[in-house]
Structure 1
Amino acid sequence: MARRGQRTQRSQGPQRRRVLDNEGIIPQLARAVREVEHDVQRGKVTGLTRTKFQVVALLAREERARVKVDPAMSEGQRAEELKRLDGIGTILAKTGARASTLLALLDEGAEITWEARDLMRDMQRAAGMAVEDEPEETPDPEVVASQERQVVPRSVLSRRLANPFMAPDFSLTQKRTSTTHRLAGWELIEPLLESFERAADGSGACMPLPEGSTLRAPIGLELMKHQAAVVGAAEAGHRTFLLADEPGLGKTAQSLLAAQAADAFPLLVVVPNVVKTNWAREVQRWTPTRTATIVNGNGDDVDGYADIVVINYEILDRHVGWLGDFGFRGMVVDEAHFIKNKTSQRSQHVLHLADQVRLRTGNPLMIALTGTPLINDIEDFRAIWQFLGWIDEKKPRPALMDRLEEAGHTPIDRLFYPAARQAVIDMGIVRRRKVDVAADIPARRIADIPVELDGEVGRSIRDAERELARRLLQRYDMALATRRAGAVVAGIDHDLVRQVAAWEREDSSSSSEENVFGMMRRIGQAKAVLAADYAAQLARNVGKVVFFAKHVDVMDAAEELLDKRGLRHTSIRGNQSAKARTAAIDAFVNDPDVAVIVCSLTAAGVGLNLQVASNVVLAELSWTDAEQTQAIDRVHRIGQETPVTAWRIIAAQTIDTRVAELIDSKAGLAARALDGSDEEIGSSVDIQLEALVALLTDALAERDR
């Protein structure tokens, strides 16, 4: 919108030189960012504060892009405008550091509300820009296309004909009991989220649970104590769970047996595509008296009379219509952090189905499963809480509001935050660590194996890294030279370093020059044969090995070397059919001659049980500790009998080493929010940005020696 207005303005004549500081969009942004800064300093972060923060960031980004290419500006004018924008960016960064929940508004997928759009247009008009009115809302082509693609399987039609009087069941609808209205008018969602950052006191995030359950596991299986506690809670009438146990503690089994205890059938299970088959297997193991059907494609082979319907996120758009009318009494969302972006169709379909389930069954069983609930930010909780029915778009729903009213505090009270955190936990957060509840699972460790990248490949990677550092230094020096007079910083200006790193990261997607993403991929390719050779040595000495990589070419190189070494192997890739995937897993687990399974981090990082091995080789680094942990936990889980070691292959004397350190430094983020740790952790786990910051800082320190 800003660009349209600016183009209209320029078309009326050459842009005249600004002679007053209060002309144009920048003064509007400066006033707004100061207001945001003032609100944050007072601890009064309201919805309007968040809207202003986001709008300033968006308009400043657009203005920077315009200034860089405006042919009507002299170099002096351009430098002056960029300097003023730097000042706004610095205030945004410092403000975001003080109120870290604001940083989620800068994500590419962050929702831009109508309030933000209105404020954006108001600021542009105040700046004298020609702004087009917001067009009348037209149907989203993707939504229309989604509706046109929707199908109803034949067996579901047969089920409807056989059960024509399937009326909604409101017998268990919860009644609101609170009569106080102390919190009426307060904005509560942000304080609730903030309570998980401010109120960690060393206690874990786990609701009170019973000692066990009268429900017994099927013959031949054992229900562990921590699993029985969740089943017992469902048996006692609790109906909403954010089951955030560490990976490997049997969340699938707990969900199925909780549904059995709550008689929550038919049950809808929404999962990533790669684990659909695994869910069907687990249904046969843990609830053998129940039938499961997997929805594939248009659902031609769906059993409309099944107790459990398993569907993957990717095809929800075709089936959301009949699923909403099916009459489910429970819903499970696996890897629930997949719905964190509420603007995505995937999230909207899941939230719509959750509302439909609640509409037809007053108090259904709703379970969100995730071992990594805070991959990026505490804001990721928002969509999950909405799925569970604890909050809506703007406020807590009655059950949670009652708990907050009973506590007797408002957000201006210091005691509100620990009370609010506990109120949310009591709604159904269950977080247990292996070390606490499954002492019989052996320990795990991560061991780094440094490798030297020799030859032409190694030299080219190191040259590319030096070129990237040189480019960052040049940007830093240019920014420093155009700084306003008087703003002198002795030594390294770390705020400016971070700003330069952010510019580089922002420009890397459109630049043909070497960037941090391409460099990490090249390092992965260079390490491929070395990592595969190490996996081969492990396999010959200690038995089966799980090999993880991010890129297909790295997997190809690894399999080629294993062939040369005469080692039988199999693989898990994203383009496999379910049948081929199952065959690959069975071969690795059951065939003693299959020594290595080569896995894609994205395709095999969830939903696999590979505890037949106790050694994992990580050939390429992830951008998050969560992804790394998910991979290791394919092996380190219930059923493992020996200690687990993850061998992380690190390219020495490259940025690979720094990225590994950054991943480890961010590993406590989830623990801070859910395990009660009071360890000081940085804000969002933006490893790419931090890697660039480290590269520039090291280059400046080296130059100043």
Structure 2
Amino acid sequence: MARPGQRGSGRARTDPGAQRRRAPRPTEQGMIPVLAEVAREVDRAVQRPPTRPVVRTKFQVVALLVREERAKVRADADLTASRRVEQLKRLDGVATMLAKIAARDTSLLALLAEDAKVSDAAHAYKATLMREGGLEPPEAPAPVAPAAPAPGVENRVVPRSVISRQLSNPFLAPDFEAAAARTAPRTHRLAGWELLEPLFRSFEVAATGAPACMELPEPRPVSVPAGRALMPHQAQVVTAAAGGHRTFLLADEPGLGKTAQALLAAQAADAYPLLVVVPNVVKTNWAHEVGMWTPFRRSTVVHGDGDRMDGFADVVIVNYELLDRHAGWLGDHGFRGMVVDEAHFIKNKTSQRSKHVLAIADRIRARTARPLMMALTGTPLINDIEDFRAIWQFLGWIDDAKPLGALVTSLEESGLTPADRGFSAAARASVIDMGIVRRRKIDVVADIPARRVADLPVELDGAAGRSIRAAEAALAKRLVERYRAAVEWHTSGGAVVEGIDDQLVRRVAAAELKESSSQAGGENVFTMVRRIGQAKAGLAADYAAQLVRNVGKVVFFAKHVDVMDQAEQTFADRGIKYASIRGDQTTRTRNKNIAAFTDDPEVQIVVCSLMAAGVGLNLQVASNLVLAELSWTAAEQTQAIDRIHRIGQDEPVTAWRIIAAQTIDAKIAELIDSKAGLAARALDGALDENGASTDVQLEALVGLLTDALTADGVV
């Protein structure tokens, strides 16, 4: 047992503040040697698990004091530059030691979160260490009633991988390089003038009839992965970002590749880590696009509490609905760029998602000099210009009361005031030059194919997604059992089977397909594909509703009645007028619904049966269609697209194919394309009949069985 005044192991003590330490040597005066000594104690203790509460308290207190000491060193104007560098280097050494300790016991990471509770024992121990370091601890504040938390704060989380990243770089200092550029110029010419309303009004009174678009540079060659090609209008935005432009309101029509432009602009601007805020339906597609356009950058998608996310990823993708839960750490993660997709989602500044987006953007600008900020929306700029108030604020062009930075400088340099006749035209031009980019399909028709298929991967969450993945696993297991039984029968007769026997795989798959086609009930490839279609219905309808908001009329195709029913209910709930074309309609009803879609401007969507409406219709009033379910042949898919790609169609046609990621749905899509010879999702109008439905069904089962055997180690 240690004598009074002698250092011991601390096993019999519960109050870390009661332990005495040796007096620091004269060369070790101050807080840093005290913190280093305690960190070494914690390191030794963690190597002898379990980590006791007293050790956890020491770890938390040292981390808190390291942060405070670093802030003090940075703010101390009396320190010489060399002394400041020396102090910061020593503090970095202690922080590195804490990071190594947390790597041994990851439960300590929770103590570093912003909302981590600091116990009374920790407060007392902190005061003890401050006295040992020659500091006077602050007086304990008088107890007060706890304040009510801000809405949503009680639900905030910090994913474990994010904490790990913070530990690897615990002192992410703000970058004040562009602070002066963000400050309004000191001038009084426009002082006292109301400027925001004239700016918004300028888009109504000074409209030229042409899309609002900044002057873009000539496109320069952009490095893209093999097999990919960037269209000239896309390369213009990337070239502008490479040249130093950092704010964009990218309002190209859907189908013109806004996602690729944003990702390559981030690469050109080195805006990593990059935060991407998107609607739920497209967040899986964004991760897919990162892999296609910037394959050397890692992406991560935030789901739920972020337990599966990668805090070290280059691109963090989160949907609007999760901002409330993750807004705390997102603002402090050190992002150098932020993209907001379908940016019209934040038009209501009183909504929680708008408040979170604006708050995160402000914190990114406070930390990072000239971050890349991009708002993506296909909505025309001429309509409801007030809706873009929040978007301009997100981009840093304005605040609640006035224009900011380069925008107010441009207004000052015009020499005009809102009372002058030419002010509206000059103001509109000033805003556009801040980074508004608007191109329509018809404007860049020479750049894009006359018709194309664009895949939109979606992730099936919730009970439906789990059920489908379980059914697919059960089907794969049944196929494997049949294959093993066939191998056993063959080997019992003297045959030798090495690795995966492709012919045997095809026989097993063909037997399963024949049985599935003849059986009335049970789980098989056909019922599973139908369930996937049902699970995708809501996501497909959601995306169609977004397209309507951006481009006007949309054709929605599905195979099954229940998928059509669910989609129509979604449209009705959102107040979107639709027409319906089904196989059980009379000719009169069918013609009436077709006329409603083609002639009535208020009818925005027509919901079509893939079988009943695949031929004999003329729907070229639309140039976008959504394929909610996959057919078994490329011919059916092409016939559906031909309903809008007909004589009289003066715009390029885009078919948005909704694909359930990580399911057999994705395999079927690949097979349809390979059978039809589709290259890079572009259609050339030639119809290849090689892809018969039975071929695709058989190949889908062959692929499922082969993947399952490979996963089981059969090679």
Q: TM-score w.r.t. structure 1 length?
A: 0.48
Q: TM-score w.r.t. structure 2 length?
A: 0.47
